[in-house]
């Protein structure tokens, strides 16, 4: 049993009674951040399944070189809507809205978000918008790719185009409102005594994410406004024949959409930091390095966008600038990767499904990161631009990265959210099916791209047929892999083994209340008796804190987790001057 977890649990009073309301609440305009978080998670997972069906259709078409499954126009719509759904209706709202909403107030010891009604509003924009986007298949779905570049988007069917633009504007609004809420909540509502450097790392990453969403999303809205004028009224903002310039659209678009990549991965980084530390029973390696690298990624992420446009006539000096900034951004990312590896190193790994997905995340994200550094270099990018190499890269960071992280988060926080454990056997089956299916589906795409197979075309040179068939088999395996997860989650939610309040013996505050937490989260304001990652910190604290002159005193020499004082009187523990040495031994 971990001493630190015991200290933290005994310093906090568990809330009791006050169980969350019945199922109808989940279909209402609830202002409880936990209900909203679950609403986000379930809704976005539903859209993930829809996006998955679209992806499976795309891969079915690509199983053979000929365009024989759907028409080319339908194929265009399939991959366009697939990408839009996965990005704007699954990963962004799932990671920030879902896990962010559920966890941030709990982690910082707050009763709710700063603006609960705004929070509910931000969520309720999403389901109708998602349905509207789906309905575009009835009127001719958008088919210009998720980037929707003009002039292609200007010659596409107008109804589908406008539905796409409106969806993006609405989902962007939702994302901005959520970001405002997170920023104010994290800055203002932390439990007294929790400085920024005592926050769990997920809070840091959500802070960075929210700043990116706040700053970048409006620029996309600007681009969408101009584009809708071009589509509807016939202005020529992005139409060279009228004096406009399609490149300006690309700049505005990527000014959002590259930071969007970090909006999709930073929350996952935060979740991985939590999972890795808890499940290897070790303090996180380099807390400040991980925390501040999130902020560095947030800053740098705003000045790398034109690496998507190396072949769009970007002048060489500008390419040089964006090549360098893009490569620089791999430094803070690498800092995180190495910190996680150092945390895992020599840890007592419990090999639960959550940790498996976290380690799967690290493997796959490193591959995606390396192919990212490759495509950052201009000459290589010119070779593989718009080929399957880019498709492989982006799926390694977005699926191998974000989705694996989201799955890890589901397994890790499911006991807290539902009060029940998930089945480990099913979880492991889910992990291996996903891991194998994923690599089967996307690894061959690197080779396809290097050999020059273009993306976004329904038919291809027969010489690519074998590799494409492997990809399609992998995609089917990936589709099948969601079944054990859905079965596991549904069954565990209804019948799973009761989890108790802190099944992982974790230290962060969301575990210091009942599972599921009551409406106001905590009975009394929670207290920080330990740092967020002080697993097994006894020996380390001894080295740090004990004055040499007092090394003989057994209470002191064993450090804060000494058995001699493992049961601090709660009254004493609640008094900062008596528990101060445990609260702040991180410094």
| Residue ranges in contact with other proteins by CB under 8 A | 31-32, 110-112, 114-116, 118, 176-177, 179-181, 183-184, 187-189, 191-193, 195, 214-219, 221-223, 225-226, 229, 233-237, 242-245, 248, 251-252, 255, 519-520, 524-525, 544-545, 547, 556, 576-577, 580-581, 584-585, 587
Reduced DSSP (H G I as helix, E B as strand, rest coil) percent helix, strand, coil of the chain, to 5? 70, 0, 30
Contacts of 569 (CB under 8 A, 6+ apart): none
308: its two tokens: 């998507």
Q: Could you tell me if 579 and 572 are in contact, meaning their C-beta atoms sit under 8 angstroms apart?
A: yes
Q: How far is the CB of 301 from other proteins (least distance, A)?
A: 15
For other proteins, the closer CB: 544 or 572: 544
CA–CA gap between residue 100 and residue 103 (Å, rounded): 5
> Which of 468-497 are b and which e, b meaning 16 or more Cβ less than 10 Å from the residue's Cβ?
bbbbbebbbbbbebbebbeebbeebeeebe
Phi, psi of 284 (to 5 degrees): -65, 140
Distances (CA, A) of 282 to 269, 356, 382, 505, 532: 17, 16, 44, 12, 11
Least Cβ distance, residue 524 to other proteins (angstroms): 7
In the complex with other proteins, which residue's Cβ is closer, 248 or 473?
248
Beta carbon of residue 428, minimum distance to other proteins (angstroms, whole number): 40
| CB of 448 closer than 8 Å to CB of 460 | no
Shortest spacing between CB 576 and other proteins, in angstroms:
4
* 73 vs 545 by CB, closer to other proteins: 545
- Tell me how crowded residue 318 is: count the other CB atoms within 10 A of its CB: 12
The DSSP letter of residue 96 is I
DSSP H helices in 242-397: 246-279, 287-301, 316-344, 353-376, 378-384, 388-397
Query: Counting Cβ atoms within 10 Å, is residue 116 exposed (0-12), middle (13-18) or buried (19+)?
Result: middle
**Spatial separation of the C-alpha atoms in residues 23 and 209, rounded to whole Å:** 31
Of residues 4 and 110, the one with the C-beta less far from other proteins: 110
Closest approach of Cβ 338 to other proteins, in Å?
A: 27
List C-alpha distances in Å: 584 to 544, 564, 576. Answer: 11, 20, 10
Residue placing its CB nearer to other proteins in the complex, 190 or 385: 190
Q: Which two tokens stand for residue 99?
A: 């896990």
Residue 172 or 347: the one with the smaller Cβ distance to other proteins is 172
CB nearer other proteins, residue 175 or residue 280: 175
- Token readout for 63 is 């199983």
Neighbours of 365 (CB within 10 A): 27
Nearest distance in Å: CB 18, other proteins: 12
- State the angle between helix axes of 287-301 and 246-279 in degrees (0 to 180), rounded to the nearest 10: 170
Residue nearer to other proteins on the CB measure, 159 or 214: 214
Q: How far is the CB of 430 from other proteins (least distance, A)?
A: 36
Rounded alpha-carbon distances, angstroms, from residue 502 to 9, 79, 237: 9, 42, 56
Is residue 425 a contact partner of residue 395, using CB atoms and an 8 Å limit?
no
Nearer to other proteins, 188 or 497 (CB): 188
Cβ atoms of 7 and 529 closer than 8 Å: yes
Question: Minimal distance in Å, beta carbon 117 to other proteins?
Answer: 8
How far apart CA 374 and CA 380 sit, in angstroms, is 7
Among residues 574, 586, 545, the alpha carbon closest in space to that of 562 is found at 545
Based on CB atoms, which residue is closest to other proteins, 229 or 432?
229
Q: CB 218 → other proteins: shortest distance, Å?
A: 4
Count of beta carbons in the 10 Å neighbourhood of residue 75: 21
Q: What gap in Å lies between CA 478 and CA 476, rounded to an integer?
A: 5
**Min CB(83)–other proteins separation in Å:** 22
Task: Give the SS3 label for residue 387.
Answer: strand
Nearer to other proteins, 9 or 112 (CB): 112
To other proteins, the closest distance from the beta carbon of 142 in angstroms equals 22
Q: How far is the CB of 419 from other proteins (least distance, A)?
A: 22
In terms of CB distance, is 249 or 438 closer to other proteins? 249
Measured from the CB atom, the residue of 188 and 567 that comes closer to other proteins is: 188
Question: Which residue bears the tokens 């996180």?
Answer: 284
Which residue's CB is nearer to other proteins, number 38 or number 54? 38
Nearest CA-CA partner of 408 in 47, 94, 4: 94
Spatial contact of 535 and 277, defined as CB atoms under 8 Å apart: yes
Q: How far is the CB of 255 from other proteins (least distance, A)?
A: 7
* Least distance to other proteins, CB of residue 410, Å: 27
Those residues whose C-beta lies under 8 Å from the C-beta of residue 235, and which sit 6 or more positions away, are 226, 229, 242, 244
Query: Least distance in Å: CB of 545 to other proteins?
Result: 6
Name the residue nearer to other proteins (CB basis): 38 or 226. Answer: 226
């Amino acid at each position: 049993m971990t001493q630190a977890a015991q200290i933290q649990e005994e310093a906090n009073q568990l809330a009791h009674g006050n169980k969350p309301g019945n199922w109808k609440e989940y279909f209402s305009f609830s202002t409880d951040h936990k209900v909203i978080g679950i609403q986000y998670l379930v809704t976005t997972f539903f859209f993930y399944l829809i996006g998955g069906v679209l992806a499976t259709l795309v891969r079915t078409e690509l199983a053979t070189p000929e365009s024989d499954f759907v028409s080319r126009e339908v194929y265009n719509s399939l991959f366009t809507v697939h990408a839009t759904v996965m990005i704007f209706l699954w990963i962004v709202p799932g990671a920030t809205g879902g896990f962010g909403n559920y966890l941030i107030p709990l982690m910082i010891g707050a009763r709710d978000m700063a603006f609960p009604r705004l929070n509910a509003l931000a969520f309720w924009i999403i389901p109708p918008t998602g349905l509207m986007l789906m309905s575009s298949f009835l009127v001719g779905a958008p088919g210009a790719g998720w980037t929707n570049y003009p002039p292609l988007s200007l010659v596409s069917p107008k109804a589908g185009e406008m539905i796409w633009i409106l969806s993006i504007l609405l989902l962007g609004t939702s994302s901005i409102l959520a970001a405002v809420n997170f920023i104010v909540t994290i800055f203002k509502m932390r439990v007294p005594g929790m400085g920024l450097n005592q926050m769990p790392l997920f809070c840091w990453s959500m802070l960075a994410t929210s700043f990116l969403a706040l700053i970048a999303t409006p620029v996309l809205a600007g681009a969408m406004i101009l584009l809708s004028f071009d589509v509807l009224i016939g202005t020529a903002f992005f139409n060279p024949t009228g004096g406009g310039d399609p490149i300006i659209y690309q700049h505005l678009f990527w000014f959002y959409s590259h930071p969007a990549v970090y909006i999709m991965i930073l929350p996952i980084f935060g979740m991985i930091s939590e999972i890795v530390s808890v499940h290897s029973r070790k303090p996180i390696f380099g807390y400040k390095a991980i925390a501040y690298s999130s902020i560095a990624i947030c800053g740098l992420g705003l000045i790398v966008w034109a690496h998507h446009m190396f072949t769009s006539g970007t002048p060489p000096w500008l390419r040089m600038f964006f090549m360098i900034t893009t490569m620089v951004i791999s430094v803070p990312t690498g800092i995180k990767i190495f910190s996680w590896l150092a945390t895992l190193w020599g840890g007592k790994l419990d090999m639960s499904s959550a940790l498996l997905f976290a380690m799967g995340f690290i493997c796959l994200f490193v591959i995606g990161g390396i192919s990212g550094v490759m495509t950052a270099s201009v000459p290589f990018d010119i070779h593989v631009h718009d080929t399957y190499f880019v498709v492989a890269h982006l799926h390694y960071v977005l699926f191998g990265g974000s989705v694996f992280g989201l799955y890890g988060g589901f397994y890790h926080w499911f006991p807290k959210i539902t009060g029940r454990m998930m089945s480990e056997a099913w979880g492991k089956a889910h992990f291996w099916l996903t891991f194998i299916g994923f690599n089967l589906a996307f690894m061959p795409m690197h080779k396809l791209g290097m050999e020059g197979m273009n993306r976004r075309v329904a038919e291809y040179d027969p010489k690519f047929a074998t590799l494409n068939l492997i990809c399609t088999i992998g995609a089917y395996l990936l589709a099948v892999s969601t079944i054990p997860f859905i079965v596991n989650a549904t069954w565990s939610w209804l019948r799973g083994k009761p989890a108790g309040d802190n099944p992982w013996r974790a230290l962060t505050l969301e575990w210091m209340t009942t599972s599921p937490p009551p409406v106001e989260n905590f009975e009394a304001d929670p207290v920080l008796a330990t740092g967020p990652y002080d697993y097994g910190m006894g020996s380390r604290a001894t080295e740090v804190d004990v004055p040499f002159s007092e090394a003989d005193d057994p209470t002191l020499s064993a450090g804060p987790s000494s058995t001699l004082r493992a049961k601090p009187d709660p009254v004493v523990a609640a008094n900062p001057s008596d528990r101060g040495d445990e609260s702040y031994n991180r410094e």
